[in-house]
């Protein structure tokens, strides 16, 4: 079993290691290693298309993670009070949001947004005339789609913490006359804060790395995964390897940070 596990990990991580190695290639060909150099990292960071896509991805990931964390935390607290069949229905809907393939979420979100825009844009034009804003796909649709998708992750993480929380503190606060909002701010929130932060980091990582959903709802915007996909259609270069390595390192740092926070919370 140990040999089998080692073989699985090698199969998963050797290709990633090869990408990181060839990102240090001094030559211009991605598959011919001629020496070590950091030139491609400098060229990637100096490419205005890369920096623009990186900025878009960062803004979308930060905004969607912020919204998903707030909505997911409140939803997790509310779901704790449900019992019986109603809770079973909500649990099924929650886990379906995590299990549904990204391409299905992307297509469904695209259809929903386009339908809503077609209905709202004529209404806005009739109310405001030629100066009416026109709703279209872009950063807003990206933030909304990623926020809805990653909210389910936040709910799962925060609910796991809520289930292990000492309920006697809330009961004591209620006996002393504390209103629900004050109990939430002073008792519940400090105890679930590590889980909330971990949920935020995971939501940020999933949004930043997402390609499938973003491909459908980005409109004229270009996120970093979309830029990488467009670039590799013309061939893989050491610059693409450098971009992929930097994204991988950033994602690993966020995921490891989230795991450390959750581990400390369990201890």
> What is the per-residue pLDDT across 57-82, written as a single tens digit (0 to 9) for each?
989 999 999 999 999 888 888 887 77
Q: Is residue 88 assigned to a domain?
A: yes
Q: Is residue 73 assigned to a domain?
A: yes
Q: Is residue 190 assigned to a domain?
A: yes
Q: Is residue 35 assigned to a domain?
A: no
C-alpha 234/C-alpha 241 separation (Å) is 14
Q: Is residue 91 assigned to a domain?
A: yes
Tens of pLDDT along 3-39? Answer: 888 888 888 888 888 888 878 877 777 667 777 778 8
Based on the structure, what is the number of domains in the chain? Answer: 1
Q: Is residue 10 assigned to a domain?
A: no
Residue 267 has pLDDT above 60, yes or no: no
pLDDT, the chain, mean: 81
30, 93, 139, 166, 208 from 195: Cα distances, Å: 41, 21, 27, 15, 20
Give residue 141's domain range: 49-234+247-266
Tens of pLDDT along 122-145? Answer: 888 887 777 777 788 888 889 988
The secondary structure of 170-236 as a DSSP string is HHHHHHTT--HHHHIIIIIHHHHHHHHHHHHHHHHHHHHH--HHHHHH-TT---HHHHHHHHHTT--
Q: Is residue 8 assigned to a domain?
A: no
| Per-residue model confidence (pLDDT) at position 81 | 72
20, 25, 136, 209 from 110: Cα distances, Å: 34, 40, 11, 19
Residue 255 has pLDDT above 80, yes or no: no
**pTM of the shown model:** 0.80
Per-residue pLDDT, averaged over 254-260, amounts to 76
Residue 211 has pLDDT above 70, yes or no: yes
Q: Is residue 27 assigned to a domain?
A: no
Residue 178 has pLDDT above 80, yes or no: no
pLDDT range class, residue 266, cuts 50, 70, 90: low
**What's the CATH number where 122 sits?**
1.10.3720.10
């Amino acid at each position: 079993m140990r040999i089998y596990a080692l073989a699985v990990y090698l199969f998963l991580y050797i290709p990633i290691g090869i990408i990181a190695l060839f990102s240090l290639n001094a030559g211009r060909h991605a598959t011919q290693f001629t020496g070590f150099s950091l030139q491609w990292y400098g060229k990637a960071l100096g490419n205005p298309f890369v920096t623009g896509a990186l900025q878009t991805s960062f803004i979308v990931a930060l905004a969607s993670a912020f919204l998903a964390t707030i909505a997911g935390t409140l939803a997790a607290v509310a779901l704790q009070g449900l019992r019986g069949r109603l809770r079973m229905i909500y649990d099924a809907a929650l886990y379906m949001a995590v299990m549904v393939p990204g391409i299905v979420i992307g297509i469904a979100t695209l259809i929903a947004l386009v339908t809503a825009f077609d209905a709202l844009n004529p209404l806005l034009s009739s109310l405001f005339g030629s100066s009416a804003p026109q709703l279209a796909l872009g950063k807003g649709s990206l933030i909304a789609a990623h926020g809805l998708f990653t909210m389910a992750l936040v709910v799962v993480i925060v609910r796991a913490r809520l289930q292990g929380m000492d309920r006697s503190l809330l009961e004591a606060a209620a006996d002393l006359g504390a209103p629900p909002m004050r109990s939430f701010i002073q008792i519940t929130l400090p105890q679930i804060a590590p889980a909330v932060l971990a949920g935020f980091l995971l939501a940020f990582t999933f949004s930043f790395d997402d390609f499938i959903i973003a491909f459908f709802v980005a409109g004229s915007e270009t996120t970093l995964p979309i830029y990488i996909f467009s670039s590799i259609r013309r061939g893989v270069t050491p610059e693409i390897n450098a971009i992929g390595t930097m994204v991988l390192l950033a994602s690993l740092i966020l995921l490891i940070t989230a795991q450390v926070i959750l581990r400390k919370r369990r201890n």
